[in-house]
Amino acid sequence: MSRLQKVFEPPGSKALIAYVTVGYPDVDTTLRLAPLLAKNGCDVVELGIPFSDPLADGATIQQASHVALANGVTPDVCLDIASHLSDEMETPLVFMSYYNPVLRKGLNHFCGASVNSGVSGLIVPDLPPDEGGALEQAGAYHGLDIIYLVARNSTDARLEYVARRSRGFLYLVSLTGVTGARTVLDEGLKSFVARARMRTSLPLCVGFGISSPSQATSVASVADGVIVGSRLLQLVDSDRSLASVGEFVQRLRMAVDAAPG
C-alpha cells in the first residue's frame, strides 16, 4: 500500500488536499506554507511545478506560475524544495506538473528523483491515459503513483478506463473549464461521483472550483477527498503572514470532518 493509499485508511476517511504553486510568491513562502497546511489539517500537499502554458489552470494559478517562473523556479528547484519539506513533515507530497517538464527531464529520471525527494504521486493534467503508458511504467518502477484526472462529461466507459490506469486516487474534475475559485459548484457533481463510484474502488477526490467550507462539506459528503488550490493562493496573496491561510484550512478541515456519510 502506497503512502497516498494510507491517507484513505480506514475506509470512510475523508482527505483534505491542498495545492500550492512552488515558488509563489517566493520559495521561502512555499517552505513555510506547506508545513502550515499539514499542521492545520491537510492530509496531502500538492506541489505545483510552474509552467509557462498551464492550459488547465485559471487566472489565479496562471499568475502564480508566472511569478514563480520569474523567480527562477525550475523542476530541479521543485525537487529540492520537496526534499526539504519531506524531511520536515510526514504528510505525503504530490507533484502536479504539465507533461513537457517531465518529458524534458526524462521519465525515469523524473520519477526516480521525485521519489528520492519524498514525493509520493504525480498528477499530469495534460497527459491523457491513452498516452501515459511509458510514464506509468516509470512510476511503477520507482514507486510513484501516477494520478489521472477525469472530466465530468466522460462516458461510463471512459470513466472505467481512466480509473483502471490511475494509482493512489482518481482526480474528478468538478466542472467544465479551468481551475479557479467558484461560488457555486456544478449541480451534476453528485451523479458524477456516483457514476465513478460504480466503476472503481479507488478513492475519489474532487478538485477545481472548491473555495469555501460549505462547498467542502458538500463534496466530502459524496467523495473521499476535497482538493482546494486557487482560494489558498488568493489568501497567500492577500496575507503574506499566512495567518488567514491557517485559519481557513482549519475551517476546511472541520467542514470535511462534519460531512455526512
| Catalytically active residues, by annotation | 46, 57
Strand, coil or helix: 253: helix
Is the alpha carbon torsion for 24, 21, 120, 135 positive or negative? negative
Asked if 122 contacts 147 with a C-beta cutoff of 8 angstroms, the reply is yes
Judge contact between 102 and 25, C-beta under 8 A: no
Kindly tell me the burial class for residue 150, based on how many C-beta atoms sit within 10 Å of its own C-beta (0-12, 13-18, 19 or more): buried
Measured distance CA(161)–CA(157) in Å, rounded: 6
Q: Which of 101, 110, 12, 108 shows the shortest CA–CA distance to 50? A: 101
| Rounded-to-10 torsion of CA 105, 120, 180, 184 | 150
Q: Give the SS3 label for residue 204.
A: strand
Residue 181's nearest CA partner among 158, 222, 160, 212 is 212
Give the C-alpha separation, 180 to 223, whole Å.
20
